[in-house]
Amino acid sequence: MRRLLSAGWIGISLLWFFAAAPSAARTVYVISIDASINPATADFIESSIDQATEAEAECIVIRLNTPGGLLKSTRVIVTKILEARIPVVIYVAPPGAQSASAGVFITLAGHVAAMAPGTNIGAAHPVGMQGQQDSIMMEKATNDAAAFIRSISEKRSRNVEWAEDAVRKSISITEGEALKLKVVDVVADNVEELLKVIDGREVDLNGTTRILQTADASIVEVEMSFRHELLDILSDPNVAYIFFLLGIYGLMFELYNPGSIFPGVVGVICLILAFYSLHTLPINYAGLALIIVGIILLLLEIKITSYGLLSIGGAVCLLLGSIMLISAESYLEFISISWSVIIPSVALTVLFFVFAIGMGIRAQRRKPTTGFEGIVGEVGEVMSTLKPDGQVRVRGEIWFATSTGGTLKKGTRVVVVRVDGLRVTVEKVGPA
């Protein structure tokens, strides 16, 4: 009997040990997205999900605060979440955060959707960034976005009707309303509370049911790498626009001052960074062409006398090109260049070309005022009678001189017409 009891206790202890061992080893990966949805954030989310999957984490929590972003990047993120081999929890946090536009699609795609108190979700209606789209294009864009969000909501068994209204009517709701309408699953104050609330919840991993065991899991915070942070900065259209203009300035300085080296090197680096940034953004090439044409017109103003017409044309092209630079074809995107960046940049560019470079070229064309060439055209006085050779005083200096008009008496006013070494050729301009 004692042997049976001992064997039973040993068996229970082993079962407890093996059940507790995995729990002690459970981890939850947590990342934060506090930016627009762009290629950098998409790549960061993808790599983080892969990292958590390789580490066999219990789940990954994406702490989200975004005003929206690029449609292409949104689709990449949604696809990655839907195909993930570990549960993905989307947590709209901290208090005051939002999940708008593209963020709505990402939140609804999560295996678990959660929000913190004081947050909101919604406003996913398609918008154009350059004025109003025609009714047919807007209808097509809206229908496509509605179908996209319906498919996500149906897969995650969430409120399909509200999701479609968020697209068609741009509805936005608070975390309490979202929980009541079954748009999200949980409202939690912080990540620790969230992990306790979702512990024991069943999630569907592409046909396989998995029970979350997150109550005692350790949290692993994953930060953006330097590469992702740099890409995130470069994905800002304002940064790309500024780099583009700086690159043009640098090349112009180098072309007008050959051998300066530094402006040319800085200009090339800025242009490379600008083109890399523009590669990640939906660029309207008509806008890019207008910017280039505008700069060419400003350059021509320096060479051609147009009484300001070329400058006006260049400024208009530069302004229109800056407004049109980000394409409106991708309808979910809110990203555009800020007016607070466009107006000062255009004004500074016009002033730069009209005044800075213009004055530099005029200075190069100005008659020399120093050296032998600088004395041509200066008025002097005959120091000794020219027969036709003698001496003259010009600008306080005494020169050997030759007269073109024969003999000139002392005191006669002369003008220098030519310089030959240390001898000047002069002609009479009037009595002393």
Q: Which residues contact 292 (CB under 8 A, 6 or more apart)?
A: 321
Distance CA 349, CA 374 (A): 34
Q: Which residues contact 102 (CB under 8 A, 6 or more apart)?
A: 37, 66, 68, 69, 70, 71, 73, 74, 124, 332
Fold annotation for 371-430: OB fold (Dihydrolipoamide Acetyltransferase, E2P) (2.40.50)
Specify the amino acid at residue 1.
M
Place of tokens 């008509």: 286
pLDDT at 49: 96
The CATH code of the domain at 23-225 is 3.90.226.10
pLDDT at 374: 62
pLDDT at 86: 95
pLDDT at 148: 92
Q: Could you tell me which of 68, 57, 139 has the C-alpha nearest to residue 101?
A: 68
Give catalytic residue positions: 101, 140
* Strand intervals (E) in 40-124: 59-64, 88-92, 98-100, 112-115, 120-122
- The residues of the chain that CATH labels 2.40.50.140 are 371-430
Residues 212 and 201: beta-carbon distance below 8 Å: yes
pLDDT at 118: 95
Residues 74, 330, 38: CA angle, nearest 5 degrees? 35
User: pTM for this structure?
Assistant: 0.69
Ranges of the chain with pLDDT below 50: 1, 4-5, 7, 9, 15-24, 128-132, 329-333, 432
pLDDT at 386: 80
pLDDT at 279: 75
Q: For residue 79, what are the CA distances in angstroms to 75, 99, 105, 118, 320?
A: 6, 18, 11, 28, 36
- The residues of the chain that CATH labels 3.90.226.10 are 23-225
Residues 40, 77, 115: CA angle, nearest 5 degrees? 100
What crossing angle do the helices spanning 262-279 and 237-256 adopt, rounded to 10°? 150
